[in-house]
Amino acid sequence: MGELKGQVAVVTGAGRGIGEAIAQRLASMGAAVVLAARSVEDLNRVRGSITAAGGEAEAAAADLQKESSIAALAEMVRQRYGRCDILVNNAGVGKIGRPLHEMAPEDWETVMSTNLRGPYLTIRAFAPLMIAARSGHIVNISSLAGHNPLKNGAAYAASKWGLNGLTYSVAEELREYGIRVSVVAPGSVNTKFGGGAAEHGERKIQPVDIAHVVAMLVTQSPQSFVSEVLVRPTRKA
């Protein structure tokens, strides 16, 4: 498939899980994919897999909690490609398992910095490239926890409720430039997010399911866009 040939996609949290699946899918559709995450080892593995399949990818180590790191990533993309057609904000952390009153302030800061401040910084860094081109698509990966209460995961839920509100508002700010902003909110996905192996993994949403949704979003006809997609497993675990 070559629907995205000539386009450049930046995917955060691309070293594993959902981010890896999204990067693989966009590359298979012809996009040049910039893989962003902290683990160079993971990024190189994903890059090798994409290039072995005939795709184009570049690994870019980045710390999404640091403004300078994101600014450097955007400048590299600007100099190397001169454009950014797709930005997928996928990187996230959970810190799930304790009630809020037992949560350490530093853990709260990590969740908010990664899940909410990170997308703000990437949008701030990459939107000017899209505005200049008067086109582009930003996809934020949220969670059903951004719509429902999550016992022992209040900080995570708060970050995702915030990400949803950010998405809806930025969509209104950027639509006049032909830029579409969408949010994907999955339920429990079969990844090692949060630490261990997933129980009943075969019943959970798979990373490729989310990649399929992102592929659908970024290939829509230009006169419309989907604001939000909620993804639930067919069978409850």
Residues carrying an active site annotation? 156
**Cβ(14)–Cβ(41) below 8 Å:** no
Return the beta strands (E) in 38-152 as ranges.
Answer: 56-61, 86-89, 136-141
Exposed (0-12), middle (13-18) or buried (19+): which is 228, by Cβ within 10 Å? middle
83: nearest Cα among 164, 148, 10, 1: 10
Question: What is the H or E stretch that residue 229 is in?
Answer: strand 228-231
- CB 57, CB 4: distance < 8 Å: no
